[in-house]
């Protein structure tokens, strides 16, 4: 018996509500919410791409400065419009009266990025200004994300901030087709990852945009685990054991709180660390290849079986 039927028989929902819920459960009624959002975001990307192509094709007719001015006016006008139409700031979730405000503010953010890029390329100041414009973009997007309660802008802000730290500490070698040593980048990745996790937790405890916590944790764990995995190949072998222990601790925490995505991140990290540790230990053993033949199929099949048999544990997520 479905939960809808139980609620109806207990007189907790009306017959009309029961009919609506049953239609959803049996998939007679299908939500197109995410599909429509995807189409709208795709439209924004196509619009910005079209503006870029228009600028390229008509650069001699319009002029660089006119196009920069146009992008600035569109960004400023869009921001002013959203500011006037949006609800006041709140530490909690803000439901705007119009869903289109979210897309307009994202369009404004993309126009700002495009304008910064246009200025740097036109004046040949990419190497000199890239760090500053990335930091400025990050600050602007963080403000807009919190002011207009937009998770997409929060993701853009985190990405810009990460780029700022990476480009500030390491040379912009890719501009000169030069590859630079990345041995220090994994340390930066670990530190920034922990920073985002801590910031997200702190703000959540203060009841400041608690629904942003997932974004902070997601990016933080990806950066942290990415740095940990990279450290395996440039550090002593005992680091693999440390990484495995840390990932193991995260496994317990994410399993307890039924956080499937973060649990999966932890499983992959622990698996890579343990695999590296095992094979480095058997590197000088001539019969190690026999172990390799069985190791990967057995461990992969076991992991798949584990997730299938325990999928009900995460069913509420």
The full set of domain ranges for the chain reads 1-30, 248-317
Residue-level pLDDT at 177: 44
Residue-level pLDDT at 31: 67
In Å, how far from its chain's centre is CA 126? 25
- Nearest-angstrom CA–CA distance, 36 and 42: 10
Residue-level pLDDT at 1: 63
**Helix-, strand-, coil-residue percentages of the chain, each rounded to 5:** 80, 0, 20
Residue-level pLDDT at 195: 95
Residue-level pLDDT at 97: 77
Sign of CA dihedral 67, 68, 73, 79: positive
Residue-level pLDDT at 139: 96
Task: Decide: 180 and 173 in contact? Cβ < 8 Å.
Answer: yes
Residue-level pLDDT at 68: 87
The per-residue pLDDT string of the chain (317 residues; one tens digit each, 9 = 90 and over) reads: 677 677 767 776 787 777 777 777 776 666 677 778 788 888 888 887 887 777 667 665 567 788 888 889 999 999 999 999 999 999 999 988 787 888 899 999 999 998 998 888 888 888 788 888 999 999 999 999 999 999 999 999 999 999 887 644 444 444 444 434 455 678 888 999 999 999 999 999 999 999 999 999 999 999 999 999 988 988 888 999 999 999 999 999 999 998 999 999 999 999 999 999 988 888 777 777 788 888 999 999 999 999 889 888 887 54
Task: Decide: 230 and 186 in contact? Cβ < 8 Å.
Answer: yes
Residue-level pLDDT at 80: 95
DSSP type of residue 175? G
Tokens of 103: 């897309």
Please give the radius of gyration of the chain, using alpha carbons only, rounded to the nearest integer. Answer: 25
Q: How many Cβ atoms are within 10 Å of 49's Cβ, its own excluded? A: 12
């Amino acid at each position: 018996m479905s939960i809808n039927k139980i609620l109806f028989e207990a007189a907790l929902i009306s017959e009309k509500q029961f009919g609506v819920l049953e239609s959803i459960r049996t998939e007679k009624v299908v939500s197109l919410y995410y599909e429509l959002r995807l189409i709208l975001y795709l439209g924004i990307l196509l619009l910005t791409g079209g503006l870029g192509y228009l600028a390229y094709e008509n650069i001699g007719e319009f002029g660089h400065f006119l196009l920069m001015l146009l992008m600035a006016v569109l960004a400023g006008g869009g921001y002013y419009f959203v500011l006037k139409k949006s609800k006041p700031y709140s530490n909690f979730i803000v439901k705007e009266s119009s869903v289109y405000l979210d897309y307009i503010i994202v369009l404004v953010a993309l126009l700002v990025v495009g304008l910064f890029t246009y200025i740097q390329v036109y004046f040949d100041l990419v190497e000199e200004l890239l760090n500053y414009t990335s930091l400025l973009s990050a600050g602007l997007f963080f403000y807009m994300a919190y002011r207009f309660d937009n998770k997409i802008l929060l993701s853009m802000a985190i990405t810009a901030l990460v780029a700022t730290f990476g480009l500030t500490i390491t040379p912009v070698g890719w501009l000169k087709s030069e590859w630079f040593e990345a041995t220090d980048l994994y340390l930066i990745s670990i530190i920034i990852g922990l920073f985002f996790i801590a910031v997200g937790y702190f703000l959540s405890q203060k009841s400041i945009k608690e629904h942003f916590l997932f974004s902070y944790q997601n990016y933080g764990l990806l950066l942290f685990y990415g740095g940990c995995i990279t450290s395996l190949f440039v550090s002593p072998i005992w680091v693999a054991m440390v990484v495995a222990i840390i990932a193991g601790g995260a496994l317990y925490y994410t399993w307890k709180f039924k956080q499937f995505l973060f649990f999966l991140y932890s499983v992959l990290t622990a698996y890579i660390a343990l695999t590296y540790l095992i094979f480095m230990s058997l590197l000088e053993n001539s019969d190690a290849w026999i172990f390799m033949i069985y190791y990967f199929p057995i461990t992969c099949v076991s992991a798949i079986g584990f997730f299938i048999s325990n999928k009900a544990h995460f069913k509420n997520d």
